[in-house]
Structure 1
Amino acid sequence: MIEIHITVDGCRYRVNADAVTDVSLPLDFHGGQPRHFGAPPASARPLRSNGFVGDTRAGGSCNCEVLTLIPHCNGTHTESVGHVISGATSVAALATEGLIPALLLSVPTRHAESCAESADPLPLPGDRLVTAAALREAAERAGNSPQAGLVIRTLPNDEGKRSRDYGAGDLPPYLSTEAADLIVSWGVRHLLVDLPSLDRTHDQGRLTGHRRFWGLSQTGVSTTVAERADATITEMIFVPDAVADGLYALSLQIAPFVTDAAPSRPLLFALEAT
């Protein structure tokens, strides 16, 4: 039997490999799936080439599908700073640590017009925000200090997140400017959210939350070096209600695509104090 122990904030923990939660969303290429920004669903079709058909139901010798997806819009994915600047910044080179100390927080969203926080561009009536105030309150309840990984579960935490088309109906919540700045001040390097984006769906192309998280100026797509170029953002996760807020070991498994975003499978391992 192999045991793994990690030390976090001077305390020693055993990583419980039998208590692991996969917070990625399964991407069903033939069924319901989450998507964003009006993108088409991820899809699959049999490979057809030189008389070969990759479908046993159509007489093929084996199944071989051609998959079409947009990582930023179809399912759980992890992004690098290359999402918002010019130049190749591959997400495959990031989050190479085996286990990352991570704090899971449940955060209620707030109506923008009823809180003292804002966003850029200014929120519109009906917008809901993940606020710095709510993050602070959740961290106090959890009783743990911020870690390199931060996992945000927004409330209410409905099962519809598993297959929602975020291009239809009400706009999803997003981070206030103050929340993005707080997360940076906490030293978070790997941010995971159950939202389709840190930013408002239609934000005039500003991507303020993304840019502040990566330490970029508010405008431009130049290859200027980001202050936090090693940081990652993971969007469209789902954390079941049964998983309690608190400290975990995060294994951030990213498909090795040499591009700015790729499908990912974040795993949260329970920790036991020793």
Structure 2
Amino acid sequence: MLSTSATITFRDKVYQFNPLKPLDISLPLAPGPENVNCFWAEPVKVDTIVVGDFVGSVALGGSTNYQRVHLTPHGNGTHTECYGHISPDPAATLDQCLKRFLFAGQVVSVEPRVQKNGDLVVMASDVLTALDIDYLPEALVLRSLPNSESKRTAQYSGTNPCYLEPALAAFLAVNGIEHLLVDLPSVDREEDGGALLAHHAFWQYPAATRDSATITELIFVPDAVEDGWYLLNLQVTSLVMDASPSKPVLYALRPVPAEGVVSFDQPPH
């Protein structure tokens, strides 16, 4: 049986976490129109494979379920992307860029600001107030407020949803934050003439491309997950593409007390 307490060291500080208490912040990929969707992607579709007398459905009398899935990573559900999203380089694929899967992360909640043109934008200044410039995480998980359950099934296409101020993406890049996770369909404006300013700023593409950095979009951070430090397990498929459906999972971190590691059944100091 796994221990209920494990430790990691990040920048000379030791933290403990409970590997038996994962916090899934992904949205599921289910067939049908009642799932989150953006950029005019078709809903996820699942087809039953039929070959001769074989039917890939136990419900229809087959011996096994054998199905084909149609999906658009950037438009259906939680997904993680690399700089290949904005690069013509065929070698810029997520399986080549993402080589580590565990990171020290920080969850930050922020309320977007209404701009003069009516857009909702997550501003750099609001996020930076929650960060310690001398002790920044490897991964930043942004939860936009209000945190409505409707995010789970939102149909974002054509709605000009909230996005990030490019200055925020630039700050994260300059300060070495490698992984950015947002509960928005994109870090950039839905229609911006192809500028993709936040994408370019975060990856520093093409001048000084950060090829190991990733952006994860369409997450959902439940209210029960408090702002603070977490171990992030960024799970992806091995698709040879610029993006993949993904399953980011958090584990709450707390500093190891002076007397050493204690059981998570005991209250923190």
Q: Is the 8 A contact 1:77 1:264 kept in 2?
A: yes
Quote the offset at 1:99 in angstroms: 1.9
CA distance in 1, matches of 2:11, 2:179: 18
Q: Is the 8 A contact 2:231 2:253 kept in 1?
A: yes
Q: Is the 8 A contact 2:22 2:251 kept in 1?
A: yes
Quote the offset at 1:27 in angstroms: 1.4
CA distance in 2, matches of 1:58, 1:205: 46
CA distance in 2, matches of 1:156, 1:68: 32
Q: Is the 8 A contact 1:16 1:272 kept in 2?
A: no
Q: Is the 8 A contact 2:124 2:168 kept in 1?
A: yes
Determine the structure 2 residue equivalent to 1:96: 99
CA distance in 2, matches of 1:151, 1:57: 40
Determine the structure 1 residue equivalent to 2:267: none
Q: Is the 8 A contact 1:103 1:144 kept in 2?
A: no
Quote the offset at 1:144 in angstroms: 8.6
CA distance in 2, matches of 1:271, 1:199: 30
Identity %: 39
Structure 1 residues 49-104: Cα deviation after superposition (integer angstroms, max 9, x where no partner): 23322122323222211100000110000001111111221212333324200111
CA distance in 2, matches of 1:147, 1:65: 40
Are residues 1:130 and 2:122 paired?
yes
- TM-score computed with the length of structure 1 as normaliser: 0.87
Where 1:72 maps in the other structure, the secondary structure is: coil
Are residues 1:174 and 2:174 paired?
no
Determine the structure 2 residue equivalent to 1:262: 244
When the two chains are superposed, the root-mean-square deviation of aligned CA atoms in Å is: 1.8
Q: Is the 8 A contact 2:169 2:202 kept in 1?
A: yes
Listed as ranges, the matches of 1:124-163 within 5 Å are: 125-139=117-131, 145-163=135-153
Runs of 4+ in 1 over 4 A off after TM superposition: none
Distance 1:30 1:144, change over 3 A: farther
- TM-score computed with the length of structure 2 as normaliser: 0.88
Structure 1 residues 242-266: Cα deviation after superposition (integer angstroms, max 9, x where no partner): 1111111111011111111001100
Which amino acid in 2 is paired with 1:101?
A: A
Pick one of 169, 178, 181 that aligns with 1:192. Answer: 181
Deviates more, 1:23-32 or 1:78-87: 23-32
Structure 1 residues 95-126: Cα deviation after superposition (integer angstroms, max 9, x where no partner): 3324200111001100122xxxxxxxxxxx21
CA distance in 1, matches of 2:75, 2:134: 32
